[in-house]
Chain A
Amino acid sequence: MRRVSPFLITMMVLGYAYLYVPIISLVVFSFNKSRLVTVWGGFSTVWYARLFENSQILDAAWLSLRLALISATVATILGTMAGIALVRLGRFRGRTLLSGLFTTPLVMPEVLTGVSTLMLFLLTAKWIGWPSRRGFSTLLVAHITFSMTYVTTVITSRLSSMDASIEEAALDLGSAPWQVLRDITLPVISPAILSGWLLAFTISLDDVVITSFTNGPGYNTLPMLVWAKVRLGVTPDINALGSLIVAVVAAGVTVSSIVITRAERRRQRDIAAALAEGT
Chain B
Amino acid sequence: MKPAAWFDRRGWSDVIIGVPYAWAIAFVLVPIGIIAALSFAEPVMNSPPYMFPKAWPHLSFGSYERLLSDSVYVRSFGVSLLNASIATVLCLLIGYPMALGLTRVSKAANRVLLMLIVLPFWTSFLLRVYAWIGLMGNNSWFNRLLTGLYNSIVPQAWHLGSIQIMYTNFAVIFVVVYSYLPFMILPLYANLEKLDRTLEEAAMDLGSRPYRVFLDVTLPQSIPGIIAGGLLVFIPTAGELVIPGLVGNMSDPMIGAVISEEFGLNHDWPMAAAISVVLLMVLVVPLMVYTRYQSRAQAGGSA
Query: What B residues does A263 contact at CB under 8 A?
Result: none
Which chain A positions have C-beta within 8 A of B97? 7-8, 11-12, 15
Q: Which of A12, A102, A167, A253 contacts B115 (CB under 8 A)?
A: A253
Give Cα distance in the complex from A213 to B203, angstroms. 55
Q: Which residues of A contact B118 (CB under 8 A)?
A: 253
Contact of B123 among A9, A88, A177, A245 (CB under 8 A): A245
Count of chain A residues with a beta carbon within 8 Å of a chain B beta carbon: 95
State which of B27, B134, B142 has its C-beta within 8 Å of the C-beta of A145: B27
- Could you tell me if B4 and A91 are in contact, using CB atoms closer than 8 angstroms? yes
Please state if B6 and A171 are interface contacts (CB–CB under 8 Å).
yes
- Interface with A: B17-25, B52-60, B61-69, B70-78, which one? B17-25
Interface status of B299 (Cβ within 8 A of chain A)? no
> Known contacts A38-B137, A88-B3, A98-B24: does B35 contact A112 (CB below 8 Å)?
yes
> Is the pair B19, A78 in contact by a Cβ cutoff of 8 Å?
yes
Which chain B residues lie closer than 8 Å to A253 at the CB level?
A: 115, 118-119, 122
Task: Tell whether A190 is near chain B: CB-to-CB under 8 Å.
Answer: no
Of all chain B residues, the one with the shortest Cβ separation from A18 is: B178
* A178 proximity list for chain B (CB < 8 A): 12
Assess the A116–B34 pair: CB atoms within 8 A.
yes
Q: Per a CB cutoff under 8 Å, which of B20, B48, B141 touches A81? A: B20
B123 lies within 8 A of A226 (CB): no
- B31 CB to nearest A CB, Å: 4
Q: Which residues from chain B contact A7 at a C-beta distance below 8 Å?
A: 97
A145 to B32, CA, bound (A): 13
B128 CB within 8 Å of chain A: yes
CA distance A16 to B185 in the complex (A): 12
Given contacts A26-B134, A111-B256, A206-B125, contact A116 B31 (CB under 8 A): yes
Say yes or no: is B5 at the interface (Cβ < 8 Å to chain A): yes
Interface size on B, residues (CB 8 A): 93
- A208 cross-chain contacts in B, Cβ below 8 A: 125-126, 242
Nearest to A243 among chain B residues (CB) is B127
Contact partners of B23 in chain A: CB under 8 A:
78, 144-145, 148
Residue numbers of A with Cβ under 8 A of B are 1-2, 4-5, 7-9, 11-12, 14-16, 18-23, 25-26, 29, 36-39, 78-79, 81-82, 84-85, 88-92, 94, 98, 101-102, 104-105, 107-120, 122-123, 126, 141-142, 144-145, 148, 152, 164, 167-168, 171, 177-178, 180-181, 202, 205-206, 208-209, 223, 226-227, 230-231, 234, 238-239, 241-242, 245-246, 249-250, 252-253, 257
- A selection of 30 A-B contacts at a CB cut-off of 8 Å is A14-B94, A15-B181, A18-B94, A19-B178, A19-B181, A21-B142, A22-B128, A22-B131, A22-B135, A22-B178, A38-B134, A38-B142, A84-B16, A85-B21, A105-B28, A108-B283, A112-B279, A116-B31, A120-B34, A145-B23, A148-B23, A152-B20, A171-B6, A226-B124, A234-B130, A238-B130, A239-B134, A242-B124, A242-B127, A246-B123
Known A90-B4, A253-B119; further 16 A-B contacts with Cβ < 8 A: A21-B142, A22-B132, A39-B141, A81-B16, A84-B16, A109-B235, A111-B260, A112-B35, A112-B239, A115-B35, A115-B272, A123-B48, A177-B7, A226-B127, A230-B133, A246-B123
